[in-house]
Structure 1
Amino acid sequence: MDKLKAMATFVEIVDRGSLSAAADAINRSPASVVRALADLENHLSVRLLNRSTRRISLTDEGRDYLLRCRRILADINDAEFLLDARRAAPEGKLSITAPMMFGRLHIVPLLNRYLSKHPGLRVELTLVDRVVNIIDEGFDLAIRIGHLADSSLISMPLGLTRHIICASPSLVEMIGEPKTPDDLRHWPIVVFNPHSNQWAFNNGETLNTHNMNTVMSSNQVDSTLASAISGLGATRLLHYQVDEALTKGQLIRLLPEYEKTAIPVQFVYPHNRLLSIRVRAFLDWAAPQLRDVLGH
């Protein structure tokens, strides 16, 4: 049995939703796909899929094995393209999406430097504060901040960030520095995203949630940050979003001992899309620099 071929067939079956659709996608007969799956299950001594006349579904073992198959196949693809990426100059279109402020602060400067070195490349950059479906919307790469729930994506870790609670010095002087999350209950709060008036605080091994006194919400980070700096209210934003204001003394960090666990920052790309030379080359060049910035 060709184990790698069997693994790729298994992944294709899951992605296509049926054995017959997988057979069409990889140009093999349905019978050969059935045999490949059966051989793989016999080799592993576990059932990977529950099959009926109408549908297939992953077993618990199949779900765990699927994640590992995706990683292994992606690593093989990366290894095969790595040498080509080093030999050839990247050219063509590279489409990237990132959160607005992260993109403005970190991705745009990188792209400016990178494009000056590679005149044959053109970039389409989309900055938007929502989770983009990069497969449906046709992006090569995305910056994703948070834990990756979609197993159809491959991630490249870049570092960590965390939510920081902060307020202007004038507001802290007027109300008094809070000692516990309860002290913030009656503070005026400005939030990014109208649904974030519930804040969770780390309390040892548990998270406690508090309803906050929101005086303004915005769908843009910059406006929320400006309101906090002006003294309108305390806010909670990601560290990279407030780092400059903290450094300049425009904001003061509050209750650091109650901050939630840090969250990952990563490049993500579709597992089923072979990385082109231009994507691979940009990843290899940009990732180390972003890791330096994020302290990874």
Structure 2
Amino acid sequence: MRAFVAVATLGSFAEAARQLRLSPSVVTRSVADLEERLGLVLLNRTTRSIRLTERGEIYLDSCRQVLEDIEGAERRVRGEDAEPRGALKVAAPILFGRLHVLPIITRILTKHPGLTIHLTLSDRNVHLAEESVDVAVRVGDLADSSLIAIRLGSVSRVLVASPGYLERRGIPKAPSDLSGHDIIAFESLDATNEWRFGTAGKLVRVEPRLTVNSADAAIAAAEAGLGICRTLSYQVMSSVLARRLAPLLVGYTPEKLPVCAIYPARRIASTNLGAFVKNAREYFRDEPLVPIEDWEIPASRDLAMHR
């Protein structure tokens, strides 16, 4: 059942084998044995794709429920205070995961030698059920109300540029001034070319000269003097404090975005999940996300944080 669920979810025998840490032949044989036992074809296979049959879709839902029940039974028999063990799959944005989630995972693995963790870093929002993710860290408002959310902190959108760029092109004093500047867009943060400013949510249309799908690349481009970039505060804090970048239009910053750990309600009794949430709370209590207004930015003779 685990092999079938993995193949159906990932659409690939090879990827399922990689996720399960089994050989492709074992996964292929497992699904074939399952189909033979049921006397049904669960997956239509072609050279290009793998698709569920109608019966396969029905069986997939049942398999997921059975596997959840088994995991729940194991958790109950071990007791709520059982030592975390087995596997936990975590997802997080790339840069946030590297800066903040990896230290949390380091704490957990140090405390619990029986636990293994699979960390997926991606700037897209993974689908927890379809990708078998136990817990994800999300930055921003949550659309899916069926998930349980534990708030860990908040961040804000920040405009930054290098001191060299600002010396050449001047400092924008209002959002409308951005039309006269070179813009670097980060796709995951900017779904459109209309940027919202202030609590009133005024929209300003920008025309990016450079668009990237990586926060690291957007920040590097801004540090290189290619233009003004909009990022999240945690992404550029070190660059601003080191004066490689200067924040702009801080007085027009829109409302803060929540940072949450999210997970399905059915996972609430998971000992492994409980360990992650407990350690995440402890980490952000010791290392809180600092709003830009409280950053101790070194004074500069030439440039200041423009409000």
- Matched-pair identity in %: 38
The answer to whether 1:246 aligns with 2:215 is no
| Conserved 8 A contact 1:186-1:212 | no
The correspondence of residues 248-267 of structure 1 with structure 2, limited to 5 A, is: 248-267=242-261
Residue number in structure 2 paired with 1:133: 127
TM-score, reference length from structure 1: 0.68
2:193 paired residue number: 197
Matched, 1:99 2:93: yes
- 3-state SS, counterpart of residue 218 of structure 2: helix
1:293 paired residue number: 288
Residues 186 and 213, structure 1, Cα contact 8 Å, conserved in 2: no
Indicate the RMSD between aligned Cα atoms, in angstroms: 2.1
Write the deviation string for residues 215-269 of structure 1: whole angstroms up to 9, x where unpaired: 1001111111100010001001000111110011010000000011001000000
Bigger shift: 209-218 or 97-106? 209-218
Instruction: Write the letter of the residue equivalent to 1:223.
Output: A
Corresponding letter in the other structure for 2:159: I
What is the CA distance between 1:198 and its match in structure 2? 1.9
What's the counterpart of residue 6 of structure 2? Answer: none
- In 2, the alpha carbon distance for the partners of 1:195 and 1:151 equals 22
Letter in 2 for 1:238: L
Distance across 2 between alignment mates of 1:113 and 1:262: 28
Match of 1:165 in 2: 159
Q: For 1:10-38, what per-residue CA distance to the aligned partner results, in whole angstroms no more than 9, with x for missing partners? A: xxxxxxxxxxxxxxxxxxxxxxxxxxxxx
Deviation at 1:112, TM superposition (A): 1.9
Among 273, 276, 290, the residue aligned to 2:267: 273
Q: Look up the equivalent residue of 2:215 and give its one-letter code.
A: V
Query: Structure 1, residues 48-105: CA drift from partner, whole Å, max 9, x if none?
Result: xxxxxxxxxxxxxxxxxxxxxxxxxxxxx9xx98x954x3221110100000000011
Residue 285 of structure 1 and its aligned partner are, at CA, apart by 1.9
Match for residue 181 of structure 2?
187
- After superposition, give the CA deviation of every residue in 1:195-231 in whole Å (9 maximum; x if it has no partner): 44321111xx521111213110011111111000100
Which letter maps to 1:91?
R
State how far apart, in whole Å, the 2-side matches of 1:102 and 1:196 are.
22
Question: Could you tell me which of 192, 215, 232 is aligned with 2:209?
Answer: 215
1:231 equivalent to 2:231? Answer: no
CA contact (8 A) 1:187 1:213 kept: no
Equivalent position SS for 1:293:
coil
Unaligned 5+ segments in structure 2 are 1-71, 292-307
For the residue of structure 2 that corresponds to 1:185, the secondary structure is helix
The number of equivalent residue pairs is 214
Matched letter for residue 172 of structure 2? P
2:117 corresponding residue in structure 1: 123
Query: Stretches of 4+ moved more than 3 A in 1?
Result: none
Question: 2-side partners of 1:196 and 1:190: how far apart?
Answer: 13
For 2:132, the aligned partner's letter is G
Work out whether residues 166 and 254 of structure 1, in 8 Å CA contact, stay in contact via their aligned partners in 2. yes
Q: Which runs of 5+ in 1 are unaligned?
A: 1-76
Q: Aligned equivalents of 1:112 and 1:206: distance in 2?
A: 41
Aligned-residue offset at 1:161: 0.3
